[in-house]
Structure 1
Amino acid sequence: MTVDTTGTVRLRPLSIQADDDPDGVIVGRPELGEFVSLPALYGEAIRLLGDGLPIGVVQRRIEDEHDVELDVVQLVEALVDLGFVARLNGADLPDPAGQAPPAHLPWLAERHVRWLFGLPMRVLWAVVVGAALVALFGRPDLVPVYQDFFWSDYVGLTTLVNTAMFSVVISLHELMHLAAARSLGTPARIGFGTRLHNLVVQTDVTAIWSVPRRSRYRVYLAGTACDLFLFAILMLVLAHANPPEGAAAFLRTLALVIMLSVPIQLHVYMRTDFYFVLADLLRCRNLFGDGLDYARYLLRRVVTVVKRARPPADPSAELSARERRAVRIYAVLLVPSAAIALGMFAVYTLPIIVTALFRALVAVWESLNGGPVLLGVDGGLFLLVEGGIQTLFLVTFVKSHPHWFRR
């Protein structure tokens, strides 16, 4: 359908968020999970279009009031492509929101979870975490150690139970992200993803671009706050309740699992919880993507110098001076950090996984041929857990990077 200055549009309900930035706005549809960052004048043009003014009238008004040329026709064409326009020149347009995956727990309303993030709960969280810190200061022996992971001589059984505990912890972590998003009136979805060599459970909270920047920190930090709260409760129980040794061993293992999961969120060279905190603090729309593009640019620049070819265009040149500076510093840290993480995985973690899988296969084979039955069952449990995790990682990775596997 042709778009020209005589046309009229009717926009779908849109979120227009200034995001504490006088020079730009974020426009999008939370239910669709589609958002774009635009200069402030485009945001004003969208508001005028939403008032029902013809395209040409909007363009002339912007030009008269701000003494700039603005191609509102091109803007409308982009809005149509994004699915932001309901009617164009009197004709209804299809709504892509019908093809978007539905939000999880749609029945969970803002009124159900708003109290979780109110002042009383924040005070309770501070009191519990503070009391746990006091207990740890008085009894440093309560800090979990790696031996707490092995509560049984059977590695397969230990891995199965500990993986189940980790699954519960990570589920609560992601549910808190979802609840935080829902407390702001925005939808969210929980699913699998990959971060470098890690299989992760992640919550898609793209819709929080529709809320002010300061409110988004609630969503980013909700999971880690939940982890710290659970860890603090476990420390207080171990310090003051004197549980039986069997229960205490289980609680120490659970505390170790939680303690090991929290530092992962600090790895900002991946898109972790604290990466998003950092990106919003620096006010960068796509810190990871822009940083990766700039790192690739630096690599191509080195290649062109060696080949004496024409240097490539700097992808960060289109960013504002503030954002460009942040992206360049982040890119310098991104590459070595990711390289170290992948190197540690290749040198340590991968050989451990391969060796353990091989030993488990040998144990199962020997058990089927007259060997110890318990060792065979233990090896089978390990294969079930670790083999399942690695298979799920491969499947998720292929689905997340389909362009890598096309001819």
Structure 2
Amino acid sequence: MNVTKESRVVPVELTVRPDRGGFIVEDARTGDYYEMPEPAVEALRRMREGGTLGEIGAELAGRYPDEEIDMVGFAGQLFELGLVAQVDGTAIGNGRPDGESEASAAIEGGVAGRNRRERGGFLWIPQSFARLWVHPAVRAIAAAAVCANIALIAAKPELLPRYRDAFPFESMALNGVTWLVVSLALVLLHELGHIMALRAYGLPAKLGIGHRTIFVVLETEMDGIWRLEPKQRHVAYLAGMGADQLVLLLALAVQAAYPGEGGWALKLAAFAAMDLFVKTLFQCCLFMKTDLYYVLENGTGCYNLMERSRRWLAVTLGGGSDGGRGADKEPRAVRLYAVLLVAGYAFQLGLLAFYFAPQLIASAAAVVPHLADWDGGAAFWDAVVFVLEFALAAGLLVYSWRKQRGGGAASRSG
């Protein structure tokens, strides 16, 4: 619909919460969230009061002389996002576009992003019970576990996980099954930490399958997390790693208490320690959307940090236009993260080219030919398990890619 400076545009019912450097605005009908600066929030308030776009624009220009105010453009932005209820007294259908295109910022900073509609889940977990998982005492114990793990490995370097810990048994088929069962159990425990944190704050959670580049992961969707204070978000983001560190401490303690023994319990403890150690390093890869990435994003207040950094890189290196989104005015945190992003991608490409690809090729060359052996021996079943695991991982990765292309950018932690 065409609007002018004389138009009176009334937005839908919105809930506004102060946040670092701006405001989080929630569409009360759909549960979608948007980050907006103060001028945009003030514009919404004045629009609800019934002022014309021209009147509101003139008022805001006086109050915010350093901001570029374009109320007609801002109204168009609200139309694109389905946030308009009425125009000049005429009700507007509030259908939302099918695509996930992000509106450009008519007011600097504008609508920086949005999350998918909130979906319920795990509501059967009592909030009172979930609070026990994120009690300050439990969080203190988890923090102490991090220090204890570092101290244990420093005092006993032999506890540092090694690649051979991934092969506790001679049978590759048994190793594969062990990896699948133990790793899945540890991942579910990690995600349970996120789920309990969300339920402790009365929010729903949903467990799904996602990916970080080529790595398939389970992830907890946290669409409602923007209702929380920044400190509470930190708790939810770090709850999974807290569970990891407690289990890692147990695994290291078992190995330290029974050194040199080769029983199955010690082998499983070493396997679990290696799995959790690698996952902790993975969480430190901030160029992917790991738990620590969301902690960084939440701590800096630069939401959509990765997307904003990519856009800044495209404009800076490509010399193109940012469509009026203000990429040239991004804060220092966005520019610094862009450097980390480039370095991280280079590191990951090197890791794929010189580590994962050769490892996969060598494993396939050693195992797959035994598929031709129909005698039912150990080598044949090793090959079968290897192929099935590879097919499962590849199928989940393709599923996650397709799901991401068809969905939005909800907050996830995994």
TM-score bucket (shorter structure): 0.7 to 0.9
Q: Counterpart of 2:247 in 1: which secondary structure?
A: helix
Change (3 A) 1:330 1:71: closer
Aligned 1:318-397 pairs, distance under 5 A? 318-319=326-327, 323-366=330-373, 368=374, 370=375, 373-397=377-401
Q: Counterpart of 2:174 in 1: which secondary structure?
A: helix
Letter in 2 for 1:53: E
Change (3 A) 1:318 1:96: closer
1:159 aligns with 2:159: no
Contact 1:188 1:205 in 2 (8 A): yes
Unaligned runs of 5+ in 2: 98-115, 408-414
Aligned-pair identity (%)? 25
- Render the CA deviation track for 1:31-64: whole Å, top value 9, x for unaligned: 8453222220221333455xx63243x9747855
The 1-side partners of 2:129 and 2:20 are apart by: 29
Contact 2:143 2:242 in 1 (8 A): no
User: Paired residue for 1:53?
Assistant: 49
User: Paired residue for 1:247?
Assistant: 265
User: Paired residue for 1:11?
Assistant: 12
RMSD: 3.6
Aligned 1:140-151 pairs, distance under 5 A? 140-151=157-168
Contact 1:193 1:200 in 2 (8 A): yes
Once the two structures are TM-superposed, the CA of residue 102 in structure 1 deviates from its matched residue by 2.8
Once the two structures are TM-superposed, the CA of residue 228 in structure 1 deviates from its matched residue by 0.8
Q: Which has the higher helix share?
A: 1
Q: Which has the higher contact order (CA 8 A, sep 6+)?
A: 2
1:292 aligns with 2:310: yes
Once the two structures are TM-superposed, the CA of residue 165 in structure 1 deviates from its matched residue by 1.2
The 2-side partners of 1:292 and 1:333 are apart by: 11
Change (3 A) 1:143 1:327: same
Letter in 2 for 1:45: A
Letter in 1 for 2:212: R
Letter in 1 for 2:125: L
Once the two structures are TM-superposed, the CA of residue 400 in structure 1 deviates from its matched residue by 2.9
Once the two structures are TM-superposed, the CA of residue 178 in structure 1 deviates from its matched residue by 2.8
- Render the CA deviation track for 1:14-35: whole Å, top value 9, x for unaligned: 34232132xx322124884532
Q: Which moved more, 1:225-234 or 1:191-200?
A: 191-200
The 1-side partners of 2:35 and 2:145 are apart by: 40
Contact 2:311 2:322 in 1 (8 A): no
Contact 2:165 2:270 in 1 (8 A): yes
Once the two structures are TM-superposed, the CA of residue 66 in structure 1 deviates from its matched residue by 7.0
Q: Counterpart of 2:25 in 1: which secondary structure?
A: strand
Give me the TM-score of the superposition, normalised by structure 1.
0.79
Q: Counterpart of 1:108 in 2: which secondary structure?
A: coil
- Render the CA deviation track for 1:233-275: whole Å, top value 9, x for unaligned: 2223443488982212112211211111111011111121222
Q: Counterpart of 1:152 in 2: which secondary structure?
A: coil
Change (3 A) 1:295 1:79: closer
The 1-side partners of 2:131 and 2:369 are apart by: 53
Change (3 A) 1:392 1:217: same
User: Paired residue for 1:67?
Assistant: 62
The 2-side partners of 1:300 and 1:225 are apart by: 41
User: Paired residue for 2:296?
Assistant: 278
Q: Counterpart of 1:16 in 2: which secondary structure?
A: strand
User: Paired residue for 2:135?
Assistant: 118
User: Paired residue for 2:37?
Assistant: 39
Runs of 4+ in 1 over 6 A off after TM superposition: 1-4, 241-244, 314-317
Paired residues in the alignment total 382
Aligned 1:122-141 pairs, distance under 5 A? 122-141=139-158
Q: Which moved more, 1:158-167 or 1:211-220?
A: 211-220
